[in-house]
């Protein structure tokens, strides 16, 4: 026994271990191939990171980041005291929850229905139509919403007036939007999002499905007891990843629909629209930076937690 | 003999009432939803072909109350605006897609090489940028103050070249290529880059098509970096940002048809906005059905592993 243990280190020592420098030289071409990407992220992602320091300063553009006056947490104090950060967090999280939950429900629903349809031509045509909203820019989405809901000329108001009613002015009514925005998001994202679920359903072993039919299951039972349980894994993973990003996103849609309409900010301003406006319209670099840092830090912890949960459920799907 | 056969057949194909209900409902619901997806676009097209007078009177309609080509005539009287905008957008899209795709493919291949000791470190380095970010403000300052790229088209071209998600997606595509190919290349004496360009790239066509289209769509629909970095000094803007300006700034609307010598009060505001939107989106609507399968493969391949 003692002999074999003593022998092991000798064997290891006789295998040459390359120094880091030698490894670099050996794989230098692969390293060079990675260099453009490494440089890209260095410049656009890593170098800006220390810039979060701006959140702790009274930033003046001509003084630059490092010479502006340091003020500690004053910017954060202000944003918390005025309730701004709370309002933004509430809006961002609630809208994202609505988008995620409603979105996934409708996507699963559509995927299941699509699976029932036998006609290949019908599937292709309708899928093309359902994908269309995904390919357009957010600018166009804003215009489409304007087309429908504009107080003077909007299609919906024209319809209402032609039936004798009085039009509605959604652009001056903040309370409509918590309902309207999720619907708009459903319109834009469902068709494309249903693809993942549809692919998952197609991947279900057809023998299981056929066996259930032989056993006497009807269509509803088939969906409830065979298809839905098979989707559970996909759903959970997708939901968890979405929740990890719950403080982010949707800037394009919100900014193009709401824009600079401050009447609506109470119920529609999310973190990213506030940051963008603070920077571009108000030139308030420190507030924009403070909220941005808040988003990054809490977002980071959220993703970590969600990833830990995903790891527990199915380690194969965890991000690292 | 025949009795046994029909018995087997009956077991496999059994459509009962519940199937018919579900199937019927599926056809109805999907048709309605698909029509709903299409509907807003019809509204825009119809309005672009409506006379401004009928818009003032009846609002936006699904079919023009009074047909008019006036908005389009205005645009085509001053075609240079549209032509330059299209030219810029196409140029950015082509250049960005070629450069970005090549870098993403190259990086994806290197990071998939099982013998490359740095691959996990570099993958994490790239992936970490999705976990934490410095935010908009430092990024803005970097581009404007330190890289001096304000009002430059490079401020749009560069940030859109690649993203961590695309690199991960590319890795998923490359994983399917066996290591034996690389090994045979090494036996023939080629270096890693030569192996990549001569042996691996040709095998990656579906992955290249998918990711190339994602990058291209990103450039075509780009308006965000334009809004951050292109001031009014810049005449020619990418397509979607031009549309944004026209919708949101009256001056931009006037300037887009400035050469046509129109009295400002005669400007058909609404139909002009819609006509510009139609021209800005037309190509996508015509092209996407033939390429949508690549986007689908992108989601499914990407969904399999994060």
pLDDT at site B285: 86
pLDDT at site B76: 87
Tell me how many domains chain A contains. 2
pLDDT tens for residues B223-275? 999 999 999 889 899 999 999 999 988 778 888 887 777 666 778 888 899 99
Other CB atoms within 10 A of residue A120 CB: 8
In a shared domain, residues A63 and A201:
no
Give percent of chain A above pLDDT 90.
50
Supply the range of the domain harboring residue B102.
79-256
> Chain B neighbours among A 130-149 (CB < 8 Å)?
130-140, 142-144, 146-148
Give the mean pLDDT of A224-249: 85
Do B243 and A40 make contact, defined as CB atoms within 8 angstroms?
no
B-chain residues within 8 Å CB-CB of A28? Answer: none
pLDDT tens for residues A113-128? 998 888 889 988 998 9
The DSSP element (H or E) to which B117 belongs, if any, is none
The answer to the question of residue A293 being in a domain is: yes
The answer to the question of residue B3 being in a domain is: no
DSSP B188: T
- At which of A70, A99, A129 does a domain end? A70
Task: State which of A147-156, A301-310, B215-224, B273-282 shows the largest mean pLDDT.
Answer: B215-224
The answer to the question of residue A168 being in a domain is: yes
For residue A139, pLDDT beyond 90: yes
In a shared domain, residues A169 and A29:
no
- At which of A10, A39, A70 does a domain end? A70
Q: Are B256 and B268 in contact (CB under 8 A)?
A: no
In a shared domain, residues A56 and A80:
no
DSSP B50: B
The answer to the question of residue A221 being in a domain is: yes
The answer to the question of residue A5 being in a domain is: no
- Report how far residue B193's alpha carbon sits from residue A193's, in angstroms, rounded to the nearest whole number: 37
- Tell me which of A33-47, A139-153, A158-172, B186-200 is least confident: A158-172
In a shared domain, residues A29 and A159:
no
Do B140 and A279 make contact, defined as CB atoms within 8 angstroms?
yes
- Report how far residue A1's alpha carbon sits from residue B162's, in angstroms, rounded to the nearest whole number: 56
ipTM of the complex: 0.88
Q: What CATH number is attached to the domain comprising A197?
A: 1.10.3720.10
Do A113 and B30 make contact, defined as CB atoms within 8 angstroms?
yes
The answer to the question of residue A281 being in a domain is: yes
Residues in contact with B88: Cβ distance below 8 Å, sequence separation at least 6, in sequence order: B153, B236, B237, B238, B239
In a shared domain, residues A204 and A249:
yes
Q: Residue ranges of chain B with pLDDT lower than 70?
A: 1-14, 262-264, 302-306
In a shared domain, residues A87 and A230:
yes
In a shared domain, residues A138 and A173:
yes
CA distance B289 to chain A (A): 6
- Report how far residue A272's alpha carbon sits from residue A135's, in angstroms, rounded to the nearest whole number: 22
The answer to the question of residue A6 being in a domain is: no
Give the mean pLDDT of A41-67: 91
pLDDT at site B12: 47
- Report how far residue A295's alpha carbon sits from residue A91's, in angstroms, rounded to the nearest whole number: 13
The answer to the question of residue B32 being in a domain is: no
Supply the range of the domain harboring residue A252.
74-317
Do A140 and B240 make contact, defined as CB atoms within 8 angstroms?
yes
In a shared domain, residues A88 and A101:
yes
- Tell me which of A36-45, A204-213, A234-243, B10-19 is least confident: B10-19
- Report how far residue A40's alpha carbon sits from residue B147's, in angstroms, rounded to the nearest whole number: 13
Q: What CATH number is attached to the domain comprising B85?
A: 1.10.3720.10
pLDDT at site A235: 87
pLDDT at site B152: 94
pLDDT at site B112: 93
Phi-psi bin for A259: left (phi > 0), alpha (psi -120 to 50), beta?
left
Residues in chain A: 320
CA dihedral over A258, A261, A266, A271, signed as positive or negative: positive
B-chain residues within 8 Å CB-CB of A142? Answer: 247
In a shared domain, residues A289 and A252:
yes
CA distance B4 to chain A (A): 16
For residue A10, pLDDT beyond 60: no
pLDDT at site B305: 44
Tell me how many domains chain B contains. 1
Of B38, B109, B303, the CB nearest to A132: B38
A-chain residues within 8 Å CB-CB of B135? Answer: 48, 51-52, 275, 288-289, 292-293, 295-296
Q: Which residue of B has its CA nearest to A303?
A: B131
- At which of A54, A70, A86 does a domain end? A70
In a shared domain, residues A23 and A129:
no
Give percent of chain A above pLDDT 70.
93
pLDDT at site A249: 80
In a shared domain, residues A192 and A62:
no
- Name the percent of chain A in helix, strand, coil, to the closest 5: 80, 0, 20
In a shared domain, residues A188 and A273:
yes
pLDDT at site B226: 96
The answer to the question of residue A4 being in a domain is: no
Do A38 and B122 make contact, defined as CB atoms within 8 angstroms?
yes
The answer to the question of residue B183 being in a domain is: yes
Q: At what angle do helices A120-135 and B17-48 cross, to 10 degrees?
A: 40
Partner B contacted by A80 (CB < 8 A): no
Which of residues A292 and B56 earns the better pLDDT score?
A292
- Report how far residue A141's alpha carbon sits from residue B277's, in angstroms, rounded to the nearest whole number: 11
The answer to the question of residue A306 being in a domain is: yes
The values of phi and psi at residue A69, to 5°, are -70, 130
Other CB atoms within 10 A of residue B84 CB: 14
């Amino acid at each position: 026994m003692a002999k074999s243990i003593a022998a092991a280190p000798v064997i290891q020592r006789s295998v040459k271990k390359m120094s880091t420098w030698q490894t670099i030289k050996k794989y230098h071409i692969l390293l060079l191939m990675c260099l453009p990407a490494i440089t890209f992220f260095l410049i656009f992602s890593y170098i800006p990171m220390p810039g979060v320091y701006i959140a702790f300063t009274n930033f003046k553009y001509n003084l630059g980041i490092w010479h502006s006056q340091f003020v500690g947490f004053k910017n954060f104090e202000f944003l918390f005291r005025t309730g701004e950060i709370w309002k933004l967090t509430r809006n961002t999280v609630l809208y994202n929850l609505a988008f995620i939950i409603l979105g996934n429900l409708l996507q699963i629903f559509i995927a299941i229905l699509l699976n029932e349809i036998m006609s290949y031509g019908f599937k292709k045509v309708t899928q093309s139509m359902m994908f269309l909203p995904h390919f357009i820019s957010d600018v166009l989405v804003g215009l489409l919403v304007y087309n429908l809901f504009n107080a003077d000329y909007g299609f919906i108001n024209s319809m209402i007036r032609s039936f004798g009613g009085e039009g509605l002015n959604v652009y001056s009514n903040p309370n409509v939007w918590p309902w309207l925005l999720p619907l708009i998001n459903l319109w834009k994202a469902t068709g494309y999002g249903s693809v993942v679920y549809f692919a998952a359903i197609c991947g279900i072993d057809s023998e299981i499905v056929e066996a259930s039919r032989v056993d006497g299951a009807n269509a509803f039972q088939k969906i409830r007891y065979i298809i839905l349980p098979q989707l559970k894994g996909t759903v959970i993973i997708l939901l968890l990843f979405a929740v990890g990003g719950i403080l982010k996103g949707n800037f394009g849609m919100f900014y193009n629909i709401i824009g600079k309409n401050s009447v609506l900010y109470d119920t529609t301003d999310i973190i990213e629209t506030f940051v963008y406006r603070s920077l571009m319209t108000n030139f308030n670099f420190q507030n924009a930076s403070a909220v941005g840092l808040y988003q990054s830090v809490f977002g980071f912890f959220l993703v970590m937690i969600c990833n830990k949960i995903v790891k527990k459920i199915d380690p194969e799907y965890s991000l690292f | 003999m025949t009795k046994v056969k029909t018995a087997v057949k009956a077991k496999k194909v059994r459509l009962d009432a519940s199937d018919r209900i579900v199937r019927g409902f599926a056809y109805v619901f999907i048709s309605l939803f698909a029509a709903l997806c299409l509907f807003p676009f019809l509204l825009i097209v119809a309005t672009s072909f409506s006379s401004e007078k009928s818009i003032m009177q009846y609002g936006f309609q699904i079919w023009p109350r009074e047909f008019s080509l006036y908005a389009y005539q205005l645009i085509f009287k001053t075609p240079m605006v549209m032509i330059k905008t299209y030219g810029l957008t196409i140029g950015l899209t082509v250049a960005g897609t070629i450069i970005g795709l090549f870098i993403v493919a190259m990086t994806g291949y290197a990071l998939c090489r099982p013998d490359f000791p740095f691959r996990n470190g570099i993958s994490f380095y790239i992936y970490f940028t999705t976990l934490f970010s410095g935010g908009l403000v430092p990024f803005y300052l970097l581009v404007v103050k330190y890289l001096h790229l304000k009002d430059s088209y490079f401020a749009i071209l560069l940030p859109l070249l690649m993203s961590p998600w695309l690199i991960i997606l590319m890795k998923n595509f490359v994983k399917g290529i066996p290591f034996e190919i690389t090994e045979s290349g090494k036996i023939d004496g080629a270096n890693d880059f030569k192996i990549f360009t001569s042996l691996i790239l040709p095998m990656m066509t579906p992955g290249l098509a998918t990711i190339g289209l994602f990058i291209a769509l990103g450039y075509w629909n780009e308006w965000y970096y334009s809004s951050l970095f292109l001031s009014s000094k810049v005449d020619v803007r990418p397509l979607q940002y031009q549309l944004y300006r026209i919708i949101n700034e009256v001056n931009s609307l006037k300037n887009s048809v400035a050469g046509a010598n129109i009295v400002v009060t005669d400007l058909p505001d609404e139909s002009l906005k819609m006509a510009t939107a139609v021209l800005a989106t037309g190509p996508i609507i015509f092209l996407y059905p033939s390429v949508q399968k690549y986007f689908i493969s992108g989601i499914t391949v990407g969904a399999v592993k994060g």
